[in-house]
Structure 1
Amino acid sequence: DSLFEVKTELEGQRLQVGTAFTVNHRLGIGISYAFKSTLDRIGDQKTVHGVNTTETAIDGKFILPSELRVGFCYIPRNVMRTTFNLDVEKVAWSNVNPAYEDVYNFYVGTEHHVENRLPLRIGFQSVNTYHSYVESRVMDGNPVDIIFARKIITPMFSIGSGAEIMKNLSWDIGFGYAWRSYEALDLFRDRYYNYPQLWVNPQYINLKDRGWDNPDKVKESFVTISTGITLTW
Structure 2
Amino acid sequence: MKDKEDNSGNEGMESRILACAERLFLNKGYNLTSMTEIAKEAGCTQALVHYYFRTKENLFSKIFEGKFQQFIDCIVKQEDESLPFGKLIEVRTSRLFDLMAANERLPFMFLSEFIINPDQRINLKDNIVSLCTEATSRLEAKIREEMESGRIRSTCTMDITLNMFSLVVTFFVVLPFLEEVGLVTDANREEFIAGRKQEIIRTIIASLRP
User: Does the alignment reach a TM-score above 0.5?
Assistant: no
TM-score by length of 1: 0.22
Q: Which protein is richer in helix relative to its size?
A: 2
Larger Rg over CA atoms: 1
Give me the TM-score of the superposition, normalised by structure 2. Answer: 0.24
